[in-house]
Amino acid sequence: MKITLGPVLYYWPAETLHRFYEEAATWPVDVVYLGETVCSKRRSFRFDDWMAVARRLADAGKEVVLSTLALLEAESELKTLRRICGNGEFLVEANDMAAVQLLSSAGQPFVAGPTANLYNPRALEVLARRGLKRWVPPVELDRETIAAVVAEQPEGLETELFAWGRMPLAFSARCYTARAYDLPKDDCQYRCLDHPDGFTLRTQEGEAFLAVNGIQTQSALTCNLLPEVEAARGIGVGLLRVSPQAHHTGRIVEAFRRALEGDGAADLEKLMPVGGCSGYWHGKAGMA
């Protein structure tokens, strides 16, 4: 099995991103996903900056994949999407069907991200004929459903599991972070910079409920499938995705690498923003 480092889902300053990927080049990850997938107003890195980082990581021996936005709303975003899909050097993760259309029409191989909404072998078969090489199941699929799909998916297609991180649950044209500060979306003052792991919403009883990350809603609890590595391997999962967080990502990657090498599952509870869960893996409430 391989370990992948997913795209950074949060708004981090350019200096932070540079430092993060300099460190990531030394981590035991096989694949690194790069790019903005949440909000086009996050411009710490431009396209050329992402390409420069991609080349450095490739020189360090990493497989690099460029990720696209999950929700496109403007022609300027389509223009950037076209540049990413036509980059000519690196594989692309399509996070919506606009990207799938561009890549498949150009005869380019691609990865389908978790927001491409693929749920059955028939959909995978159709896209495999158009260039799909790897897919990331939507985070709401449980182990039995993933196993059933993998058992019937086209031969040679890779399956990558979202194995660590606050789960991306939904996107909206509205910006929840701006709204929380009583600001319009077009004048958000980049408040996401103040929340490098998103900000946590709690119930009236004080329990962590959701995390707000601009236009994206996430789980408050961190999905941790480290204890399920062997079960994932057993159903045919070939890659495990670690979604970056503001602190301790390198330690988390190392824990997954040790688990793959048979050293057992480490206790990573203290490395999570507010606590962990098993997501939808068992088909019931992950926090249980």
We report the CATH number of the domain holding residue 228 as 3.20.20.110
The residues, ordered by sequence, that sit 6+ positions from 128 with a Cβ below 8 Å of its Cβ are 153, 154, 157
Judge whether residue 265 has pLDDT over 80. no
Instruction: Identify whether 261 is part of a domain.
Output: yes
Q: What is the pLDDT of residues 47-101, one digit of tens each?
A: 999 999 999 999 999 999 999 999 999 999 999 999 999 999 999 999 999 999 9
Instruction: Identify whether 196 is part of a domain.
Output: no
Which residue range forms the structural domain that includes residue 113? 2-165+222-268
Judge whether residue 143 has pLDDT over 80. yes
Instruction: Identify whether 193 is part of a domain.
Output: no
**What mean pLDDT is reported for the chain?**
96
Domain count of the fold of the chain: 1
Q: How far apart are CA 33 and CA 57, in angstroms?
A: 10
Judge whether residue 264 has pLDDT over 80. no
Instruction: Identify whether 204 is part of a domain.
Output: no
Mean pLDDT of the region 244-273: 93
**By three-state DSSP, how is residue 134 classified?**
strand
Instruction: Identify whether 92 is part of a domain.
Output: yes
Instruction: Identify whether 240 is part of a domain.
Output: yes
Query: Do 37 and 10 contact (CB within 8 A), yes or no?
Result: no
Instruction: Identify whether 46 is part of a domain.
Output: yes
Instruction: Identify whether 173 is part of a domain.
Output: no
Q: What is the pLDDT of residues 202-235, one digit of tens each?
A: 999 999 999 999 999 999 999 999 999 999 999 9
Query: Do 164 and 226 contact (CB within 8 A), yes or no?
Result: yes
